[in-house]
Amino acid sequence: MKKIIIVFLTICVTSACSEDFTDLAPISNRNEADFFNTADDFVASINASYAGLQDTGVYNRAYWALFEMRSDNTDQGPDATGLARQYTEINQFTEDPLNEQIDAAWSGSYRIIANCNVILKRIEKVVDIEEGLKNRIIGEAIFLRSLMYYHLAVAFGNIPLQLTPFVPGDGLTQVDATTVYAQLVSDLATAEGSLPISYPSSDLGRATKGAAATLLAKVQLTLGNTGDAETTLRRIINNYNYDLVPNYANLWGIGNENNVESIFEVQFSSGGIGQGTTLTNEFSPSGDLQTGQGFGRNRPTETLVSAFEEGDLRFEPSMGTSWINVDEEVIEQNYVRKYESNPPTENDSDNNFVVFRYADVLLMLAEALGESPESYELINDVRTRAGLDDIDAATPGSFQDKLLKERQVELAFENHRWADLKRFGVVNDKLIEAESDVINPGDIRDLYFIPQREMDINSNFVQN
């Protein structure tokens, strides 16, 4: 079976629900006395956490707006009406705390965290579960919770760090991103130790040691702990059986999912079961779909287009060009191709979303090492697949600029760019350089506003 078929069960305990802080309370419709008693209960619950990744507040919409469109990689395009207005505001740093995509990202992420917290609390008390399965579920829950906290810390910085089920009446306090990352270092080490290297085909798509280690290395680099990141990344390379797919084009498309380069993917399934992705419709030009409307959103910028060198074999699989009619004028626009397909119905595509893959690991190791012959070898492994010549210390530009550019073109539209710009300390420089005609430099911020709803119900919260 090419992917886990996840049923988003509305489970978990009513005692964790809160009218005052709904984001830390899981959706519930079963009493805790009737659930969390058997191994099947916990498998169903962790599957619900995976299903949460399909939410429009997470990988099915909001994350690409917050982490690609906010960067110099993409923009909304000429349409700034209706839903598109929210994206335009994010792209131009003019959004306010009421922006629905920001609220959705916060809520969707915390729902997964809440479910994982309940699993972690309840599973320790259950004896009717095989120890290996118990440890695996613990590792999965910690990984998924950590993945959400990583994105929340990148986006908002100052967030509640809730590690147990929320109890009504408990006070919530914000902590800074560094505190969150420090917790993730500890948690992800535990997750990596608890998870398997791989799964049988019936469980393909679950979190592995490699997934936990990849996120751990990303957090370590964010903290500036390059030596620790190097150790983690070498462990992935030496022990976890990943490799580059020989042809970059063969990374994409329904037939290429969960390949040897894939470390973690969000498993989407079409067929009218509520588990398909919107990305094909969101990104495709309107004339390219057999079913439904293409909106041409998350449009590649000219800055990204020009970052590709002539002859780069990654360009065509990554993006294409179409022509649209705007105010009776036909204009050319770029569009994302990595999630192309022909869904059976609108917003119900089968394409998975690749969260982590091996090329990112190689480029992160180059980052951890700093400029050296080995770091250029790692970069050139990625460039060779793209049909490009090697680079070295004599190639014009700083090492950071060369590495950041390589990450930009290799990982375009995979939600890494905003975090990369922040980690490399070049948010202002890159955005002013790329979009000075649409962004007021004085509006550029490293953090999103805390959603207004959270400010209203938590009087002690400090707004970014």
Cα dist. 110→117, 146, 356, 385, 413 in Å?
10, 11, 21, 38, 23
Of 9, 37, 36, 12, the residue nearest 26 (C-alpha): 12
- pLDDT (average), residues 411-429: 97
Percent of the chain with pLDDT over 90: 76
Beta bridge partners of 333: 322
**Confidence class for position 328, pLDDT limits 50, 70, 90:** low
Position 330 pLDDT exceeds 50: yes
Q: Is the pLDDT of residue 48 over 70?
A: yes
Question: Looking at the DSSP assignment, which residues form a beta bridge with residue 325?
Answer: 330
Which token pair is 116?
Answer: 């994982």
Q: What share of the chain is helix, strand, coil (3-state, %, to 5)?
A: 50, 10, 45
Cα angle 418, 46, 105; round to 5? 30
User: What are the b/e assignments for 3-14, b being 16+ CB within 10 Å?
Assistant: bbebebbebbbe
Query: Looking at the predicted structure, is the pLDDT value of residue 290 above 70?
Result: no
Q: Which DSSP string corresponds to 63-104?
A: HHIIIIITTTSEE--S--STHHHHHHHHHHT---TT-HHHHH
Structure pTM?
0.92
Helix (H) or strand (E) holding 420: helix 417-423
Q: What domains lie within the chain, and their CATH numbers?
A: 14-338+349-457 (1.25.40.390)
**What's the CA gap between 324 and 232, in Å, rounded?**
47
* Average pLDDT score over residue span 180-192: 98
pLDDT at 213: 98
DSSP 250: G
Q: Which of 366-370, 436-440, 445-449, 454-458 has the lowest mean pLDDT?
A: 436-440
User: Cα–Cα distance between 157 and 173 in angstroms, integer?
Assistant: 13
